[in-house]
Structure 1
Amino acid sequence: MLKPTLVTLPETKLVGKKRSMSLLDNQTQALWQDFMPNRELITNRIGNDYYSVQNYSTDYFETFNPAKSFVKWAAVAVDAFENIPNDMESFILPTGLYAVFEHKGMDTAIFQEIFTEWLPNSTYILDHRPHFELLGERYKNNNPNSEEQIWIPIRSL
């Protein structure tokens, strides 16, 4: 059974690149390949973590449709929106409560478990704020030993 940590995220400023995509037309790899070569141009960076952010429409989760589009970001945290590289944009993660799941490996079934088992059996509902994965020093792309945090926005019933 999944046991998340509940964390209130303070407002977090991000700088990065975004792309509209769907689960069927997943362009995550292309987004990161576009972002990573110029990441060092971002000034005012806080820490070494990367943020893989999904920004969904208000009706995205009403009916599952793998062709429905959302906006995905590849980004880093900053303490100020100054000197943003020309081909990048700013984004703010608003403050709010998150269920944070530690995840190891490449199995994406954890998302189904979160939304079909953990969330319905908790005292929380999904909140309309961005979802994200925090990719820290233990993250290793396409590696079975990779570790990341999955942040799901929630609020009390």
Structure 2
Amino acid sequence: MTPRIEEINARKLIGVSRSMSISNNKTRELWEGFRAGVPTISHRVSSDFISLQNYPIDFFRQFDPNMPFEKWAAVEVSEVSNIPQGMHSFDLPAGKYAVFEYKGSSNDPGIFQYIFNQWLPTSTYWLDHRPHFEVLGKNYKNNDPNSEEEIWIPIQEK
């Protein structure tokens, strides 16, 4: 699977976040708390959802399934105003990303094993320290083998 490489401008997101770890995954609860408030978010850019992970700088160097990171359930907006109660804004910085078009269950770790253990080490890129995210569009179906999403991995030239 070969990704497309995209350089993006900074983006504005509105959503909710929660600290969690791989071993103490609270993704389901995060999204359940977010979905009810989505209709109250103004200035949405699209109908897509963003699942974002903001990892500590040493997360991938000293992997520990108990190491906490910040996870967001969000949407992209054109401007940050009238943020619904209980939600916050997040500024996604500009940068280069490897974008993988993935079809399969969101519970299958195989795609991430491929990205980090096969594709990245043999590519001309390093992992960059910026947020990782997935774009969950109209063909996303949670835990369905026919689900489709885009996986955005922050990269920089070696």
Shared fold (TM-score greater than 0.5)?
A: yes
Instruction: Quote how far apart the aligned CAs of 1:59 are.
Output: 1.1
Deviation readout 1:35-94 (Å, 9 max, x if unpaired): 001111111111100000000111111111111010000000001110001100000111
Post-superposition offset of 1:108: 2.1
Q: Deviations over 1:104-144 (max 9, x none)?
A: 11122110110011000001000000000000011011211
Give, as a single letter, the amino acid of the residue that structure 1 aligns with 2:95: G
Give the structure 1 partner of residue 99 of structure 2: 100
Unaligned runs of 5+ in 1: none
Matched letter for residue 125 of structure 2: Y
Shift of 1:10: 1.3
Q: TM-score, normalised by structure 1?
A: 0.98
Aligned residue number for residue 30 of structure 2: 31
Q: Distance in 1 between matches of 2:37 and 2:24?
A: 24
Match of 2:21 in 1: 22
Distance 2:129 2:136 in 1: 22
TM alignment of 1:145-156, pairs within 5 A: 145-156=146-157
Partner secondary structure for residue 42 of structure 2: coil
Q: Report the Cα distance in structure 2 between the residues aligned to 1:24 and 1:52, rounded to whole angstroms.
A: 18
Q: Does residue 1:4 correspond to 2:7, yes or no?
A: no
User: Percent same amino acid at aligned positions?
Assistant: 53
- Which structure 2 segments of 5+ residues have no match? none
- Separation in 1, partners of 2:93, 2:85: 24
Distance 1:108 1:138 in 2: 19
Q: Which stretch shows the higher mean deviation, 100-109 or 26-35? A: 100-109
Distance in 2 (CA, whole Å) between partners of 1:66 and 1:8 is 30
Q: 4+ residue stretches of structure 1 with deviation over 2 A?
A: none
State the aligned residue count. 156
Aligned twin of 2:142: 141
Counterpart-to-counterpart distance in 1, 2:53 and 2:36: 21
**RMSD, aligned α-carbons:** 0.7
